[in-house]
Amino acid sequence: MEELLPITRAQLALRNGEDKDQVWIAFLGNVYDVTSSCLWLKGKHYEHWAGQDLIDELKDAPHTEKVFDKFKIIGILK
C-alpha cells in the first residue's frame, strides 16, 4: 500500500485550479486529486471551490460523502 503524504492547508489552498494546474479537495482528513474530473473544471464545482476542506460544504450538496469514493486519495490533511 502506498504511503500517503502529509499535505498542509497552505499546499491544499494552492491546488485550487487557478494557482497551480492541480485541483485538490479535502474531506474528513483525506486529500483527493480531482484534476481530471470534468465536474471540477477550473477548480469550481457548482458553488464549491477546490483548494479547501469541504467538510462544511457537504451539507449543501445533493449527494452523500460516497461521491468521494471515485477519486484517488493522495494525502492526509495536516
Per-10-residue mean pLDDT for the chain, 78 residues long?
89 94 95 94 88 86 82 96
How many whole angstroms separate alpha carbon 11 and alpha carbon 6?
A: 10
CA distance 32 to 73: 5
Burial environment of residue 25 by CB neighbours within 10 A (0 to 12, 13 to 18, 19 or more): buried
Identify the CATH number of the domain defined by range 5-77.
Answer: 3.10.120.10
The pLDDT value given to residue 62: 66
Q: What angle do CA 64, 70, 76 make, to 5 degrees?
A: 85
pLDDT at residue 67, rounded to an integer = 86
